[in-house]
Amino acid sequence: MVKINLEKLAETAPELSVMKVLADAYGGSASAYEKTLSVTLKLLPGNLKALNNLLETGSSDYSVKIHGLKGALRTIGAFQLGLKAEELEKLSKSGAEDGLTELHSEFMREAEGLLEKLSLAAYEEKSETTLTYEQTRKRLLEIIPLMSEFISDYDCGGALKLIYPLKSASTGAEADELITLITDALERFDPLKAEEHLESLLTVISV
């Protein structure tokens, strides 16, 4: 699992006021803040790419996308960038194209800069698993029905806790890819997609 070194991030990204955000917004809960940063790191590249595409195609969904980004950025303490996103949202809704393009470029530059800083502060948590191929397969067969129960209750968090320890274990390329798809879907809180991939995983490892 990708984690974020908050002390390093505080040094390299002073615009986030990491320690203040941790204390004020997250009530000192480092794990909650780290998880949010980790998910942001994972999703921001795709969101920025989508935002660019929406501007290029002149889509009215641009204002919807930037609104979502505004909220996500403010949630991690990127308030200045969040303000730019708010301005972009207003410009997009008012149809002011010229001002929009220029500010969009500025926003993208700064957002990509933030992304780089997040990446530098990220590290892969070492997994302690030393399971063999067969042990991993056996463990998956045990947890899949439990995961299905969590997912049927729409509880992505519960299902994620079961599969995370096995993320770095291996049981074949196809199964490994499905595990990645399942964890991605659960991290995006998409239980229906997660269930779909879970069924495929069961088929693959049951053979």
Partner 1 sequence: MYNIEELEKSDKFNSAEAVRNFKTDREYFTALDNFRKDAPLYLRGYTASVIINRPEEQTTFLADAEKIREALTTLEMKESLSYLADLELAVATEDTKLMSDGLLQFYGEMEILTKQVSAAYIKPAPKQEKKEEKKKEEKKEKSGTGAKPTIIAVDDSPEILTAITGMLEDEYRVIALTDGVTAISAAKKLYPSLFILDISMPHMNGIELARRLRSLGGDSPAPILFLTGDAERNTVVKALKQGGNEYILKPVEKDILLSRVRKWVKGAARLQSKK
26 binds partner 1 (CB under 8 A): yes
Which CB sits closer to partner 1, 41 or 179?
41
- For partner 1, which stretch binds (CB under 8 A), given 90-98, 111-119, 131-139, 150-158? 150-158
Distance CA 176, CA 167 (A): 8
Nearest-approach distance from CB 27 to partner 1, in angstroms: 4
Q: Which CB contacts under 8 angstroms, 24+ apart, belong to 13-22? A: 13/114, 13/117, 13/118, 13/121, 15/78, 15/80, 15/81, 15/114, 16/76, 16/77, 16/78, 16/114, 17/77, 18/77, 20/77, 21/76, 21/77
- For partner 1, which stretch binds (CB under 8 A), given 2-10, 102-110, 121-129, 184-192? 184-192
Distance CA 16, CA 135 (A): 43
Which CB sits closer to partner 1, 137 or 197?
197
Nearest-approach distance from CB 31 to partner 1, in angstroms: 6
Nearest-approach distance from CB 98 to partner 1, in angstroms: 26
* Closest C-alpha among 131, 135, 205 to residue 172: 205
19 binds partner 1 (CB under 8 A): no
* Closest C-alpha among 93, 92, 115, 108 to residue 52: 108
Buried b (16+ CB within 10 A) or exposed e, 52-62: eebbeeeeeeb
45 binds partner 1 (CB under 8 A): no
155 binds partner 1 (CB under 8 A): yes
Binding to partner 1 (CB under 8 A) within 109-148 occurs at none
156 binds partner 1 (CB under 8 A): yes
Q: For residue 130, how many other CB atoms are within 10 A of its CB?
A: 7
Q: Are 118 and 16 in contact (CB under 8 A)?
A: no
Tokens of 83: 């303000």
29 binds partner 1 (CB under 8 A): yes
183 binds partner 1 (CB under 8 A): no
Which CB sits closer to partner 1, 26 or 164?
26
Residues binding partner 1: number (CB under 8 A): 34
By the criterion CB under 8 A, which residues form the site for partner 1? 24-27, 29, 31-33, 35-36, 39-40, 43, 61, 64, 67-68, 70-72, 74-76, 153-157, 187-192
